[in-house]
Structure formats: structure tokens, C-alpha cells
Structure 1
Amino acid sequence: MPSPVFVEIRAGALDSLGGILADRRLSAGGRIAVAISGGSGALLRERLEPALPRADWYRVADGTLDGAVRLADEMRRGHYDALVALGGGKIIDAAKYAAARVGLPVVAVATNLAHDGLCSPVSILDNDAGRGSYGVPSPIGIIVDLDVIAKAPKRFVASGIGDAISNISACADWELSHAVTGEPVDGLAVAMARSAGENMLRHPGTLDDPDLLTTLTEALVLSGIAMNIAGSTRPSSGACHEISHALVELHPKRPGQHGEQVGLGAAFACHLRGERELSGLIVERLRFHGLPVTADQLGFTDAEFTEAVHYAPNTRPGRFTILEHLDLSATDIRDAYADYVQALNS
């Protein structure tokens, strides 16, 4: 089963980074490259640099394809045992892509839990055409320091919850495709991805609860492993993600948090499948964590959201979800969304 060699989720894990790398025989001599952001990563460098005296540090400006290629080119000058990606999702995605180009294993050290790219075999990077999805090896190790995560903006934590919960809808779409088109389904991948989503849907904790942060981290790791098993993003990406991608493509200057968009997408997709009780449960949990449940709460008009849902199947050609199955007109989507909003207020 393709999965990380090690996963460390605990308070104070970051202080043991050097020891973890040595214990796992990744870099006993400390010859590592560290990719950091200009924000949280730069601040943590001051804390970690004394413990990693032989490491070379690389600043990654953004989550673009060009930035990832530059990082790879810069690392070719050194001889490293591994690349440590220290930061949020954009830095980790850029590092995964760069490491794939130079043949290095990646250890992902997350400073927030905004989405499931932490452990996935995919890098989402901005390019000249908008935003692309690139297949890469998944990280060989995951380190999450709960003390660091507790200091991250609460919006990022909530976004990760939305992304994890959306697995429930993505798995339902995959099973729908199996029933209608005969697409093969990997039962283990579904079990892991759906369990991750259900764990977050049922968890009673708030964003300040250390147990919720642990459960969320585990859920995001499980989602990544499920994608590795499936060989694609299928267990964690269905109509919910198509809607999110459409919003980004049609309105690139108004990008919201990925988890916020897919959370709303999941609730609406469940509504379209006739799973009204499940849609209501998802809405309830999203609201509990301050996540948007309507288009206007995301900063979009009803007409813009309707347009995005109508366009959504174009973002993943060949992927079959409830949107492709129903093949709704723009008018049908507008009416379905109005019904969804009415159900929220009933």
C-alpha cells in the first residue's frame, strides 16, 4: 500500500525534526534542503536553524509552477538526502513537484491544515493557463506539530474540515459512476476517504480543541493515502471539487479557501442526489465551524454560482459525478439551488 513511512502528529513534534529525520534514516548527517514560505516558514526557520546546521534553506515565493521549477533548479546545486517542505499547502505542493524533478523524497511539515494536499500524490500549482493538477510522489513522511497548528488562522483549520467532509460526497459520486458507467471502485480507498469525512462530520469539538486538530490531521492523511491507493484523486474529488474548480476558473480574482468552496459544493451535491438529510448534516457542521453554506457567504451571487455549477463538468473531462449524471440546464441548476437555500431556512 503506498503510504508515508512515518507520520508524527503531536505537540512539540517540530522540535524533534532533526532527530526524526535521523531516526528514520532519511538523513543521519543532516544534509537536507528545506523549502519555506515567506510567512510562517520564515518565522520557524529562526527556531529550527540551530538544530539543522547542515541544512540549506530555500524561500518559495508562491504556489506557481514557475516557482516550483525554480526551486528544483536551485536544489540541483546541492547533494541532499531529502527535501523538507515547511509551510502551508502552496509550499508543500511546490516542494512535492520540485522534489519529483530532482528525485528527492519529501517530508511534509505542515504549519496549517487548510486542505488534504498534505499527503496527496498531486500538486496543485498556478500556471499561465490558470491552475493545473500535477501527479507527483506523495510525501515519505508527515510531521504536524499541534502547537504550531493551534496558532494558525482559524479560517485555515476550518477550511481543512470542509475539505475532509467533502470526501463523503466525492465517494458517493464515485459509487454513482460505478452503478451507471461501470467505473471500477476501490473499496479500501472509499473506506478510508469516507471514514475521514465521517470523523470530521461527527466530531463535536471546536476549532480550539486539540483533539479536533488531531482528528483533522489524521483525516487529511487518510485522504491522501486513499488517493494513493486509488491512483487518482477520485476518493476525495467529485462534484464538490468540480464546482470549486469552476469558481476559480471563472472568477480567478476572487479565490476563496479551497475547503470553503468544496464544503459548500458537497452540501449542494448531496442535495442534488436527493440525500437531503445528509446535506442538512453537512450544512450543520459547516455552520458550526463558521464555514459558508450559501454562494453569497462565499462572495458570489446566485447567478455566478449557477453558472459555475453549469460549467463545472468542463473542469474534469471524463469524471462522472452527479452533475454529469443529471446533465442539468442552467435553469434547472438555478431552481435546484433555490430549493437548496429554501431547505436551509426551513
Structure 2
Amino acid sequence: MYNSSVHLPTIFQINENIISKISFFLQRNNFCFNNILVISGNTSSFKYAEIILGSLKAESYIIKKNDVTSVEDLKEYCLSKGIDLLIGVGGGSILDVVKRVSLLIEIDNLLVPTTISNDGLVSPISVIKDINGKTLSLPGRAPFGVVVDVEIIKNAPAKFLQAAAGDILSNISATNDWVLSAIKTGEQINDLAYMLSRSAAFALIHHESKDIRNRNFLKQVIYCQMNSGLAMALSGTSRPCSGSEHLISHAIDYHSLSEKTLHGYQVGSISIFCLYLQKKLDAKCLNYAHELNIPLAFHQLDNKILDQLLVIYETSFKMRPGRFTVLDSFKGISFVDLYNEFLFFLNRFRIYETNY
């Protein structure tokens, strides 16, 4: 599995107080753009967009939703104005719209995240809502530049940082599924993408501190999320970071069973269950989730989930048809019984009853 047209960031900056230096980073690398558009939301991200607008010549554009209408409106605006660089400032919703439009009109994008909650930043994937409000994973253009101001990320709500750290757990279950698929179906594995994904996960799991406000741990979370995105870009697929845990997560989202839960937090919790099914669940992963206050049993994410386990399981196979995971190994076996066995396992080691 090799992506011959992979786009990797040329500008890749992670440090404190660098948001005002984007013009310098562009000039240093001899990039020259004639019509730059800085895209943000209309709340906190706009405050940071103003800093960028004060440091380089560009126009401002505000989006409010990450839906197909916002994508179409931004696309038409860019075409009418002859925009040749998009600078996205904000959380994942804003940046996904930027990546999607960048691909549709074939121009570069540079991303400045104000939060880090999952591995989507440098991936060639855009999560966009359709006209019915359902989530779509669509192709996007990976950024040619990424500027992460750690001072901004550090001031983001704790739940986003917790989700970013939790999201990394899915790399382990996802790559396990990838290997399983290679054995069962002959699917190709991109070794470099595989190693990038797993090394990102284990770097965090073995980190001495799991304090999301700790500067070193936070920077490691950011680096690991970048590596996860690069793994997906290199392989041309989400496989390195998305397996059975994401299929279950998408099914939960499809049925609106945990609407207030951040994606990274959700897949981190589900990964514990999937690692159990893969017979790969160990103390390091359990302790990592526990220290981040991530539920070890994913039904604790929302009260509606436990009664809908069978529906979730059946729907998971419709989320990415053809993607083989450990879930395929349990077809014909009661999913509810499997989950109850998992809960028994957690109870046996007295690690289930925890207040989240």
C-alpha cells in the first residue's frame, strides 16, 4: 500500500508564541502567494486569526459549520477572488472545511489549530456533515504547512487535550486490525505508516507523565498526533489509525447515542474493548486510559449505549464496507455476550468500577 501522490508538510512548526511568525516561515522557505485567505470561526479562533492578519497581507473569512453548504460557499468565494492559499485557524471542524475546499479547487493550505483533539490535522481526510446532519469522511488535501502554537493549545479546554491523548490508543487497535486483515484477506501494509502509527501510541503510553497540562507531555501529544496524520497521508488511507474501534464509534455517532462526547475520547474508550477482543489488552493501555480518566468500558460514555449494543454492532459493519477488523472474527457470536465477558474481565481485576 503506497501513496505515490502523498502531500507532506514543508512548513512544520511546533513551539510557543509562533502564531505571528507565519509570514516569516513562508518567506524563509521562498513561498510567495498573491491572494491569501485566513479562515476562522467567529469566536476565539477569530482572535488568533486577527494576529495572523496583522502580520501578513490577507483577507478574512468566517465559517460557522463544517457542512457541505459551508464547503460549497467557501469554494465559490475562493474561485471568485482568485485565492491561492488558505490559512485555516481553529478546531477540527474549521480545518476540515479548509482541507476539503483546498482539494476541490487544487490550492495549498496552511493550518493553525487552536485545539488538538484527534489525529486529523495533517491527514488527507475531511469530516463534513451532509444536508441531513450525518457525518461524512471525505477526501481532503493534506496541509503543506502546519503551525502549532503550544501556548494556544495549552489554553484550550482540558477535554480537548484529554481527547487528543485518548485518541492515540486507537492507533494500537487499528494497526492490530491492519495486521489481521493482511493475514485474512491479503491486504497490503505500508510498513512506514504502520511504524509511525504505533510508535506515536507507545511514545505516549510509556511517557512518565500523563498530565495533559504538563508541557513535555502536551508537546509529545501534539507530535504523536502529527505522526498519526502523516501515517495516514503516507498510506493513502485511514487504516493506520482507524480500525474496529472507529467502526463502533461511527455506529454510535450514526445513531446519535453519545452526541456530547469528543471523538478522540470516544475511540480511546472503545479501543480498550477492541484490544480485549484482539487479545492484546495489557496493563500499560489500561493504566494509560485510567490516568487520563477515560472510561475503560465504553458504555459509560452515555447511558443510551448499553441497551443498543446489538444495534451498534450490526451498524458497525455498514460504516466502512470491506474493511476487515477483529469484529469480523466474531460474526455469529452474541455481541452482548462478548461485551458482558469483557465487563467480567474488568471486574475480575477490579478496574471497572471507576467514577468518570
Give TM class, smaller chain. Answer: over 0.9
Structure 1 contact 92–117 (Cα < 8 Å) conserved:
no
In the TM superposition, residue 344 of structure 1 has moved relative to its aligned partner by 5.6
The yes-or-no answer on 1:113 pairing with 2:116 is yes
1:259 paired residue among 264, 268, 273: 264
Question: How far does the alpha carbon of each residue in 1:231-271 deviate from its partner, in whole angstroms, 9 at most, with x for none?
Answer: 11001100111111011001167241000111011110011
Question: How far does the alpha carbon of each residue in 1:54-86 deviate from its partner, in whole angstroms, 9 at most, with x for none?
Answer: 211110101112212211111222233311110
Letter in 2 for 1:285: Y
Q: What is the RMSD computed on CA atoms of the aligned residues?
A: 1.9
1:59 paired residue among 44, 57, 62: 62
Moved more, 192-201 or 310-319: 310-319
Change (3 A) 1:317 1:28: closer
Structure 1 contact 303–334 (Cα < 8 Å) conserved:
no
In 2: Cα distance, 1:333 partner to 1:306 partner: 11
In the TM superposition, residue 225 of structure 1 has moved relative to its aligned partner by 1.1
In the TM superposition, residue 215 of structure 1 has moved relative to its aligned partner by 1.0
The yes-or-no answer on 1:199 pairing with 2:203 is yes
Counterpart for residue 139 of structure 1: 143
Task: Give the count of matched residue pairs.
Answer: 342
Aligned runs of 1:23-172 on 2, under 5 Å? 23-27=28-32, 31-52=35-56, 54-129=57-132, 130-172=134-176
Moved more, 153-162 or 332-341: 332-341
In 2: Cα distance, 1:13 partner to 1:3 partner: 20
In 2: Cα distance, 1:24 partner to 1:255 partner: 41
SS of corresponding position for 2:120: helix
SS of corresponding position for 1:276: coil
SS of corresponding position for 2:172: helix
Counterpart for residue 3 of structure 2: none
Question: How far does the alpha carbon of each residue in 1:152-203 deviate from its partner, in whole angstroms, 9 at most, with x for none?
Answer: 0111011111112210110000001111111111111100111111112112
In the TM superposition, residue 291 of structure 1 has moved relative to its aligned partner by 2.3
In 2: Cα distance, 1:344 partner to 1:20 partner: 52
Q: Which runs of 5+ in 1 are unaligned?
A: none
Moved more, 245-254 or 91-100: 245-254
Counterpart for residue 6 of structure 1: 11
Change (3 A) 1:343 1:320: farther
In the TM superposition, residue 13 of structure 1 has moved relative to its aligned partner by 1.5
In 1: Cα distance, 2:199 partner to 2:59 partner: 39
Change (3 A) 1:313 1:3: same
Moved more, 290-299 or 193-202: 290-299
Letter in 1 for 2:91: G
Change (3 A) 1:253 1:194: closer
Counterpart for residue 290 of structure 1: 293
Change (3 A) 1:3 1:23: same
Counterpart for residue 217 of structure 1: 222
Q: Which runs of 5+ in 2 are unaligned?
A: 1-5, 352-356
In 1: Cα distance, 2:207 partner to 2:147 partner: 22
Change (3 A) 1:340 1:87: farther
Identity of aligned residues (%): 26
Structure 1 contact 306–330 (Cα < 8 Å) conserved:
yes
